[in-house]
Homo-oligomer: A and B are copies of this chain.
Amino acid sequence: MNTPFSKLASPLLNIPVLKASCAGCSLHQLCLPMGLDNADMGRLDQIIGRGQRISRDQRLYRMGDPFKNLYAIRFGHFKTCHMSNGGEEQITGFQMAGELLGMDAISSDHHHCDAIALEDSEVCEIPFSRLEELFSHIPTLLHHFHRIMSQEITRDQNVMLLLGNMRAEQRFAAFLVNLSSRYLARGYSSTSFQFRMSREDIGNYLGLTIESISRLLSSFRVKGWISVDKREIHILDLPKLKEIALGSELAMMTKKDCKPVAPAIAKT
């Protein structure tokens, strides 16, 4: 295992200080420094602050906190929770290693949501003002940063699609497929992984109740598409899940084997 944080002895306090290094990090092709040459990556390393350990259930930042840093997740998982003024909370996303936290705060200089660790995790602190200084010297970095922000927008809009259009089964399938592909991109198994979040979190994220999630898990299990043991899940029929996630008409067709003649993608 590579150790992307080198432990330096703090001269005064004699406690280990975590010093991040993009160059030594296995995620640099997924994360902010993507596409940078060694020289530029070095410059980025210079501004990146000390790493932070965040233990399970701890908040990296809270809604209303002043905005200073973006955070790149080194390892671990987070959820971001928005609170409506009425007090109900909505989980707007689950983030994993290599992803950036805090971009929602740029617009108003304070955070709009809570970021909560789902397990013991570690993040790199990226002072945003220094990052902005760097942008004028490294156009590649700027461009990539814009891609990341834009990606976040696209992702959110896909969730809107999910919440606005899909029925429970489809939402849940889409959720599983999404997790699956993100683990794949990180070099993990796309078919066997653990839920880092509770059923309640999943339900909240998908706009469903905890009971519905439970029932969906059971139903998918009975149908032979997955096997579950607590938070351990094995996807047994990924193509089927993708089909369900993709949606409705097409899935209905194949399910009922009806009218394979007429073009399935008829206008709605």
Contacts and interface: CB of A to CB of B under 8 A. Distances in A.
Interface of A: 82, 84-90, 92, 103-108, 112-113, 132, 135-136, 139, 142-143, 146-154, 156-161, 163-166, 204-207, 246-251, 265-268
Contacts of A92: 157, 160-161
Contacts of A132: 139, 142-143, 146
B249 A87 contact: yes
Contact of A135 (B86, B136, B147, B153): B136
A150 B166 CA distance: 26
A160 B165 contact: no
19 contacts: A86-B247, A86-B248, A86-B250, A104-B157, A106-B146, A106-B147, A107-B148, A108-B150, A108-B151, A112-B154, A132-B139, A136-B139, A142-B142, A149-B150, A149-B153, A156-B160, A159-B160, A164-B205, A164-B206
A90 B247 contact: no
B157 A112 contact: yes
A95 to B, nearest CB: 13
Contact of A106 (B103, B150, B157, B161): B150
A157 B82 contact: yes
A268 B207 contact: no
A90 to B, nearest CB: 4
Given A151-B107, A153-B152, A154-B104, A84 B146 contact: no
Contacts of A88: 161, 165, 247-248, 268
Contacts of A163: 160, 163-164, 207
A85 B247 contact: yes
Contacts of A154: 104, 107-108, 112
